[in-house]
A = this chain, B = another copy of it.
Amino acid sequence: MSNNSEIEVFCPGTIANVSCGFDVMGLALDGIGDRMLIRKSNQKGISITKIEGQNLPLETQKNVAGVAGLKLLEHLNSDQGFEIEIYKNIKAGSGIGSSAASSAGAVWGINFLLGEPLSRKELIEFAMEGERLASGVAHADNVAPALLGGFTLVRSYEPLDVISLPHPSELYATVIHPQIEVKTADSRRILKQNITMKQAITQWGNVGGLVAGLFTEDYDLISRSLEDVIVEPIRSILIPEFDRIKSSSKEVGALGCGISGSGPSVFALSKGEATAKAVAEQMKNIYIPLGIDFEIHISKINTEGVKQL
């Protein structure tokens, strides 16, 4: 049992889908994340007492951290109250798991202060309730890596079955977030409900290859597998200069490049920090002339997930 009454939490950004792994794969970042303060309170329930960095609702029932936290407390039958302060660095709508960071951070912090009655894996389903509020779908491909760190595979939802995958130690992500709005709902709506068997076979060949490459630390296999023949060709039209970002990143050595979550952020994976930085330069050189504001994050893969600061 923890005797702490307050904890400061780092809530990592995450990349969902990871090219071929649409709706099943995700990974956690180190270089970009939110900060939360969570403390026990005498008042039952959850109060969001402060949000900095983003304009988000303070009402518990409208806040992903509030909703996820309440679901956890309900499950635990806990009358303990909590106050939460949220310091957002991850912009809402960025495609790098802003809502997931808050949801995962809330349930992890509350669980910690209650003496860790649940495992990180068990917390996933409660964090998913935050995602339900944010996007209408209780998906796990951001909250799973946010809670577990590293790469995760959501094998199934019924029942929920999340697998932690290893990754080679020199793997870095470069993420560019063009400051344009792409709503997750829109980004979902343009997808086709039916796909060809041929495309699907290509995709699951790549999913198998990516998982095998992560286990064998085979950067080249990871690179060959980081292709999405189904979603990227459709969604990438919403992202300015996606094709150039992708080809330029690969020219300087990126293993692969794709849309982070439902966009508009674009990620590249590279072996080594030097390549990840070179990729960032390429991305900048393409976006600066466009006059679109952007942020770039260079990050090692986060192996721990949400953690105490």
A-side residues, CB < 8 A to B, are 20-25, 153-156, 161, 163, 165, 191-198, 200-212, 215, 221, 224-225, 230
A155 and B209 CA atoms in complex are apart in Å by 6
Cross-chain contact B193 with A196 (CB below 8 angstroms): yes
Distance between A147 CB and nearest chain B CB, rounded to angstroms:
18
Cross-chain contact A206 with B22 (CB below 8 angstroms): no
Chain B residues within 8 Å of A215, by CB: 211-212, 215
A192 and B196 CA atoms in complex are apart in Å by 9
A20 and B205 CA atoms in complex are apart in Å by 11
Chain B residues within 8 Å of A205, by CB: 23-24, 153-156
5 A-B residue pairings within 8 Å (CB atoms): A22-B201, A156-B205, A156-B206, A208-B210, A208-B211
A154 and B230 CA atoms in complex are apart in Å by 19
Chain B residues within 8 Å of A25, by CB: 208
Chain B residues within 8 Å of A202, by CB: 156
Cross-chain contact B208 with A155 (CB below 8 angstroms): yes
Q: Nearest CB to that of A164 among chain B residues?
A: B212
Cross-chain contact A201 with B24 (CB below 8 angstroms): yes
Interface centre among A20, A24, A196, A225 (most CB of B within 10 A): A24
Chain B residues within 8 Å of A155, by CB: 205-206, 208-209, 221, 224-225
A209 and B25 CA atoms in complex are apart in Å by 11
Distance between A150 CB and nearest chain B CB, rounded to angstroms:
12
Q: Nearest CB to that of A154 among chain B residues?
A: B205
A165 and B268 CA atoms in complex are apart in Å by 26
